[in-house]
């Protein structure tokens, strides 16, 4: 009998080709005569989607059991990156599909490039959530990611005249083949109004919330495949809509436009991602967003728990809820409200359940970045939640008093409410009080949390605290983005590293192998050549693939010190101007990153990079030995081109400011060497790579504190260092800004008079370190050896390791085997 593969599940090249053609015709409604590249992309996306649905449904079936514990990852952001390539890798059908597409007369890479990435995040925090979903599925841990389905994600960045311009991100424009709406699972969320006390039938004192508005949350589900296993978890994002009944009511009263207005107001909630990576001001819509997705998610979690026959008293046995920073921390008050007000559970029991269910990850030490909401705003939007927070606080402070009698200073410091002329709810305090576990995202960060930001919480409940150093997924960040390197590694040590990144250690024995070294170098050169071609297409700039590719990509922020990098570039430029014959290592400096639209200094730093690029790239004395590139619109897609092509990774934040960093890990895995401070996860990267394979500079956290304590004066450094002085004077003079003397005045002013992030203090150390980098690069054999050792020793920074630690220490979650159902 002839075996015929099903068109929707078959994996042979022939079947894939047939299914692809079929989808082009029946879903896109096109044939080859009129199909656009996007039609082909969509036809392929649906072909792949068909092949993962069976896993998805089988996974749901395997996990929908009372004894299964599910991890719920609550995050305001999920920066997933394009799905197509990743799903091909997970399904293990990349090569078959490439062939099927080729035999259809097309190019797979070109179709993959068609996908508009879902930019539902700002940077590190959102991308971390995406890596964690990948690892949860890879480890077969039942998990749901809950968040918001923003209609407009992070803005697209264009550069005009050197300045950043923001363009609306219309990512849903051509449809999204990776999501499935589940309108049958819609939930309601209430807002505003007031509360009333009453006594219920059992004579118990209760509170009723009389809300003013209702919003409806519609879930959109995206499958998240495990790497070469049968698991497919769910990313469930909520879209805000108006309740239908509300429309009709107004319509019947004849207020048609009023109804339309209310509908628009409701839909606003999931309209746009706030493009800040710090809460600059407490905007009401942002709090509405947070409460909206958290309330939808908690109702969904409780619904599932009851559906499998669980009792609410046992919620913590079937659910572990992780708070990705404080953005979803209103969930603690909301769960208390659901348990106490809606499900009539007594306060103490409800508090036990809540604390046992929630855990909180902190992602920042910057005091200005800690979320707090004005009491007035909070109370008008969530009157019942404010009461609940007061009651949590009253009981919490009672406990504190019992443990530290008479310590009123401590009470004020620990209170969930910040007193003063304007009062605030402190969200980090709510998250800390309401969770059984609190963690930082790198060893240093977790230590500093205990010493600084959450010191009083640590003294109160030291057992809650732990460190969970961040990690990134090797599937996207090596296999998918650097296939040639992945191939070489697998050929040399087998392919176990993809699921067990520690195995990369076995590469150490090739570090001195000439043949291996030359293949390693050749792959880097190929990746650099590809990036150079992309740079030419995007900016018109020609860069030399044989120069040192020195790259800094991340959000633009003063504490990340992109402008310290620029100070070195100007220093090099000055040396060349002074002595055009000088022998230097040719370098290409590449920058990428977005600035928050309201962050003036960050935008000025972008302008600075572009101005310096103009001068350096066009000066005949430089003779092409230095190039400076600012690549617009840095995102996940672009990251996948950048990390594999990098030779030097810039991780130069002021010590004590960067919680972890995750780009640092992606660079290093792909064989870049790091120039960095002892900050965030750099400390651990250096520890793993070996100090001789890491370019360290700058003050330590302790030295930063000490220097600030004894009175830091940036002018001392300016006055004492002629090279630095020259650079700063040039910034002020206008030679770097076509004569516009005032352009960089705010920067110069800040550096000379305040310099909060100690650029001038670290300048000399950075310059000397960069000079060592330039020297080291001349010995290509030695450089390659260091590069191989960096990759070989990055096993710790797999998100699989991080997720295992969360499962064991915080969530108590275990793998559930998925059997494929026909």
State the catalytic residues. 363, 554-555, 560, 662, 666
- Three-state SS for 649? strand
Q: 397: phi > 0 → left, psi -120 to 50 → alpha, else beta; which?
A: alpha
What tokens were used for 372?
């707090």
Instruction: Please choose, out of 152-160, 220-228, 484-492, 654-662, the segment that lies near ligand 26M by the rule CB under 6 A.
Output: 654-662
How many angstroms separate the first and last alpha carbons of the chain?
A: 21
For strand 163-167 and strand 626-630, is the pairing parallel, antiparallel, or unpaired? unpaired
Residue 88 interacts with ligand 26M (CB under 6 A)?
Answer: no
Other CB atoms within a 10 A radius of the CB of residue 178 amount to 23
226 or 279: whose CB is closer to ligand 26M? 279
Residue holding tokens 């699989």? 800
Residue among 662, 682, 693, 799 that touches ligand 26M (CB under 6 A): 662
Stretch binding ligand 26M (CB under 6 A), from 62-70, 136-144, 246-254, 652-660: 652-660
Q: Would you call 238 helix, strand, or coil by DSSP? A: strand
Distance CA 492, CA 513 (A): 12
Beta bridge partners of 465: 438
**Shortest distance, CB of residue 557 to ligand 26M, whole angstroms?**
8
Closest separation in Å from C-beta 130 to ligand 26M = 11
Choices 150-158, 240-248, 275-283, 453-461; region in contact with ligand 26M by CB under 6 A: 275-283
Least Cβ distance, residue 738 to ligand 26M (angstroms): 34
Least distance from ligand 26M to the Cβ atom of residue 597, Å: 12
Residues 385 and 330: beta-carbon distance below 8 Å: yes
Are 655 and 678 in contact by the 8 Å Cβ rule? The answer is yes
Indicate whether 119 belongs to the interface with ligand 26M (CB under 6 A): no
Residue among 190, 206, 271, 286 that touches ligand 26M (CB under 6 A):
286
Q: Which is nearer to ligand 26M, 627 or 686 (CB)?
A: 686
Does the footprint of ligand 26M cover residue 599 (CB under 6 A)? Answer: no
Stretch that binds ligand 26M, among 119-127, 332-340, 503-511, 539-547 (CB under 6 A): 119-127
- Say whether residue 221 binds ligand 26M (CB under 6 A): no
Distance of CA 361 to the CA centre of its chain: 13
Closest contact distance (angstroms) between CB of 78 and ligand 26M is 12
Nearest 5°: phi and psi at 373? Answer: -115, 135
Report, in angstroms and rounded to the nearest whole number, the Rg of the chain calculated over CA atoms.
28
The C-alpha atoms of residue 319 and residue 322 are separated, in whole angstroms, by: 10
Using rule CB under 6 A, residue 177 touches ligand 26M = no
Pairing outcome for strands 180-181 and 163-167 = unpaired
Q: Which is nearer to ligand 26M, 285 or 706 (CB)?
A: 285
Q: Is 658 an interacting residue with respect to ligand 26M (CB under 6 A)?
A: yes
Give the span between the Cα atoms of 556 and 561, in whole angstroms. Answer: 8
Query: Does the protein bind ligand 26M through residue 802 (CB under 6 A)?
Result: no
* Rounded least distance, CB 122 to ligand 26M, Å: 5
Options 151, 169, 277, 456; binder of ligand 26M; rule CB under 6 A: 277
Return the biggest CA–CA distance within the chain: 92
- CA 374 to CA 584: how far, in whole Å? 55
Q: Does 680 bind ligand 26M (CB under 6 A)?
A: yes
C-beta atoms surrounding 375 within 10 Å = 17
User: Applying CB under 6 A, which of residues 236, 363, 476, 686 lies at the interface with ligand 26M?
Assistant: 363
Piece of the chain touching ligand 26M by CB under 6 A; list 272-280, 301-309, 620-628, 785-793: 272-280
Residue with Cβ nearer ligand 26M (125 or 551) = 125
**Least distance (Å) from ligand 26M to the CB of residue 361?**
7
Quick one: which of 390, 406, 396 has its CA closest to 457? 396
> Of the candidates 47, 87, 364, 610, which one interacts with ligand 26M according to CB under 6 A?
364
Which segment (6-14, 120-128, 609-617, 686-694) binds ligand 26M by CB under 6 A?
120-128
Among 23, 122, 640, 693, binds ligand 26M (CB under 6 A): 122
- Could you say which of 276, 700, 713, 765 contacts ligand 26M (CB under 6 A)? 276
Helix (H) or strand (E) holding 800: helix 799-806
Residue 383 has what DSSP assignment?
A: H
The sheet with strand 424-426 has its strands ordered as: 372-374, 424-426, 417-418
Q: CB of 425: closest distance to ligand 26M in angstroms?
A: 14
Q: Check binding of 444 to ligand 26M (CB under 6 A).
A: no
Q: In this structure, what DSSP letter does residue 227 have?
A: T
**Interacting span for ligand 26M (CB under 6 A) from 363-371, 534-542, 567-575, 742-750:** 363-371
Residues 6+ apart with CB under 8 A from 613: 628, 629, 630
Residues making up the chain, counted from first to last: 822
By C-beta, is 229 or 364 nearer to ligand 26M? 364
Using CB under 6 A as the binding criterion, the count of chain residues that bind ligand 26M stands at 22
Contacting residue, 118, 123, 142, 714, with ligand 26M by CB under 6 A: 123
**438 interacts with ligand 26M by CB under 6 A:** no
Inter-residue long-range contacts of 454-463, CB under 8 Å, 24+ positions, other chains counted: 454/362, 454/428, 456/410, 456/413, 456/414, 457/414, 457/429, 457/432, 457/433, 460/400, 460/403, 460/414
Report the residue number, 41 or 806, with the smaller CB distance to ligand 26M.
806
The answer to the question of residue 440 lying near ligand 26M (CB under 6 A) is no
| CA-closest candidate to residue 213, choices 262, 264, 149, 249 | 262
Nearer of residues 378 and 520 to ligand 26M, judged by Cβ = 378
CB of 282 to ligand 26M, least distance (A): 8
- Per-residue x/- marks for ligand 26M, 228-267, CB under 6 A? ----------------------------------------
Cβ contacts of 815 within 8 Å, gap of 6 or more: 139, 140, 141
Mode of pairing for the β-strands spanning 372-374 and 213-225: unpaired
CA 646 to chain centre: 20
Write out the H or E segment, with its range, that includes residue 735.
Answer: none
Q: Does 278 bind ligand 26M (CB under 6 A)?
A: yes
73 phi/psi in degrees, rounded to 5:
-100, 105
Q: How far is it, in rounded angstroms, from Cα 791 to Cα 670?
A: 6
Footprint of ligand 26M on residues 92-111 (CB under 6 A)? none
Give 365 or 616: the residue with its C-beta nearer to ligand 26M: 365
The reply on whether position 470 binds ligand 26M by CB under 6 A is yes
**279 in contact with ligand 26M (CB under 6 A):** yes
Integer Cα distance of 409 and 808 in angstroms: 36
CA separation (Å) from 584 to 495, 548, 587?
40, 11, 9
Please report whether residue 679 would count as binding ligand 26M according to CB under 6 A: no
Question: What is the CB neighbour count within 10 angstroms for residue 212?
Answer: 12
Residue whose structure tokens are 């497919």: 232
Residue nearest to ligand 26M (CB): 124
Determine which residue in the list 82, 118, 661, 795 makes contact with ligand 26M, applying CB under 6 A: 661
* Cβ 478 to ligand 26M shortest distance, Å: 19
Residue among 59 and 682 whose Cβ is closer to ligand 26M: 682
User: Is residue 456 a contact residue for ligand 26M (CB under 6 A)?
Assistant: no
Which residue of 469, 660, 737, 791 would you call a contact of ligand 26M, by CB under 6 A? 660
Q: How far is CA 440 from CA 28, 399, 450, 666, 684, in A?
A: 47, 25, 9, 20, 14
Asked if residue 153 binds ligand 26M (CB under 6 A), the reply is no
274 is a contact residue toward ligand 26M (CB under 6 A) = yes
Which residue ranges make up the site for ligand 26M (CB under 6 A)? 122-125, 128, 274, 276-279, 286, 363-364, 371, 441, 470, 658-662, 680
């Amino acid at each position: 009998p002839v075996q015929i593969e099903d068109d929707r599940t078959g994996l042979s090249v022939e079947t894939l080709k047939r299914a692809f053609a079929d989808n082009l015709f029946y879903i896109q409604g096109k044939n080859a005569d009129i199909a656009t590249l996007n039609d082909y992309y969509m036809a392929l996306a649906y072909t792949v989607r068909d092949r993962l649905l069976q896993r998805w449904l089988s996974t749901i079936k395997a996990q929908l059991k009372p004894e299964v514990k599910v991890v719920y990852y609550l995050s305001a952001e999920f920066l997933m990156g394009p799905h197509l390539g990743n799903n091909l890798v997970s399904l293990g059908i990349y090569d078959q599909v490439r062939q099927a597409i080729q035999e259809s007369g097309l190019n797979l890479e070109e179709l993959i490039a068609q996908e508009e990435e879902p930019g539902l995040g700002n940077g590190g925090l959102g991308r971390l959530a995406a890596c964690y979903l990948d690892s949860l599925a890879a480890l077969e841990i039942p998990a749901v990611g809950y968040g918001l389905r923003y209609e407009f994600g992070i803005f697209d960045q264009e550069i005009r005249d050197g300045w950043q311009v923001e363009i609306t991100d219309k990512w849903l424009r051509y449809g999204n083949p990776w999501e499935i709406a589940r309108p049958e699972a819609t939930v309601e969320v209430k807002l505003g109004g007031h509360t009333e006390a009453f006594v219920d039938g059992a004579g118990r004192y209760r509170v009723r919330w009389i809300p003013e508005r209702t919003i409806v949350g519609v879930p959109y589900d995206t499958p998240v495949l495990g790497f070469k296993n049968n698991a497919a978890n769910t990313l469930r994002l909520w879209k805000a809509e108006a309740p239908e009944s509300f429309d009709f009511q107004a319509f019947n009263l004849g207020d048609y436009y009023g109804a339309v207005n209310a509908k628009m107001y409701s839909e606003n909630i999931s309209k746009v991602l706030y493009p800040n990576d710090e809460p600059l001001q407490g905007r009401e819509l942002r709090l509405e967003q947070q409460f909206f997705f958290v309330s939808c998610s908690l109702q969904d979690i409780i619904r599932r728990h009851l559906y499998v026959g669980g009792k609410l008293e046992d919620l913590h046995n079937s659910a572990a809820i992780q708070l990705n920073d404080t953005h979803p921390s209103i969930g603690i008050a909301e769960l208390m409200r659901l348990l106490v007000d809606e499900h009539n559970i007594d306060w103490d029991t409800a508090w036990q359940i809540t604390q046992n269910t929630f855990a909180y990850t902190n992602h920042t030490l910057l005091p200005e970045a800690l979320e707090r909401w004005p009491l007035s705003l909070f109370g008008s939007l969530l009157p019942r939640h404010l009461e609940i927070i007061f009651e949590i606080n009253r009981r919490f402070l009672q406990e504190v008093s019992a443990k530290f009698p008479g310590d009123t200073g401590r009470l004020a410091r620990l209170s969930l409410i910040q007193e003063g002329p304007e009062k605030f709810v402190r969200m980090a305090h709510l998250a800390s009080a309401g969770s059984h576990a609190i963690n930082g995202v790198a060893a240093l960060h977790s230590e500093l949390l205990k010493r600084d930001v959450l010191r009083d919480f640590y003294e109160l409940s030291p057992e809650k605290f732990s460190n969970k150093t961040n990690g990134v997924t090797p599937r996207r960040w090596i296999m998918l983005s650097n296939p040639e390197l992945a191939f070489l590694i697998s050929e040399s040590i087998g392919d176990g590293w993809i699921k067990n990144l520690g195995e990369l250690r076995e590469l150490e024995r090739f570090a001195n192998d000439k043949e291996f070294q030359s293949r390693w170098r050749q792959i880097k050169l190929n990746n650099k050549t590809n990036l150079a071609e992309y740079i030419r297409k995007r900016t018109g700039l020609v860069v030399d693939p044989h120069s040192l590719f020195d790259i800094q990509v991340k959000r633009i922020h003063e504490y990340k010190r992109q402008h310290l990098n620029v100070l070195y570039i100007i220093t090099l430029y000055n040396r060349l101007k002074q002595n055009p014959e000088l022998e230097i290592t040719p370098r290409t400096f590449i920058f990428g990153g977005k600035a928050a639209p309201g962050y003036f200094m960050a935008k000025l730093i972008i302008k600075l990079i572009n101005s310096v690029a103009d001068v350096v790239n066009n000066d005949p004395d430089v003779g092409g030995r230095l190039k400076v590139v600012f690549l617009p619109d840095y995102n996940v897609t672009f990251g996948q081109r950048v990390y594999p092509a990098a030779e030097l990774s810039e991780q130069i934040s002021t010590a004590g400011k960067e919680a972890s960093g995750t780009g640092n890990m992606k660079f290093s895995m792909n064989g870049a060497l790091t120039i960095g401070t002892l900050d965030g996860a750099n400390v651990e990267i250096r520890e793993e790579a070996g100090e001789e394979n890491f370019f360290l500079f700058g003050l330590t956290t302790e030295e930063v504190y000490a220097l600030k304590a004894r009175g830091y004066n940036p002018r001392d450094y300016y006055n004492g260092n002629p090279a630095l002085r020259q650079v700063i004077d040039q910034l002020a003079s206008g030679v770097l800004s076509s004569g516009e003397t005032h352009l960089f005045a705010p920067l110069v002013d800040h550096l000379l008079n305040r310099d909060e992030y100690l650029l001038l203090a670290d300048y000399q150390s950075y310059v000397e370190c960069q000079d060592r980098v330039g020297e080291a690069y001349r010995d290509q054999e030695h450089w390659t050896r260091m590069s191989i050792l960096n990759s070989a020793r990055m096993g710790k920074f797999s998100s699989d390791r991080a997720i295992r630690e969360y499962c064991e220490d915080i969530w108590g979650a275990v793998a559930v085997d998925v059997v494929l159902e026909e």
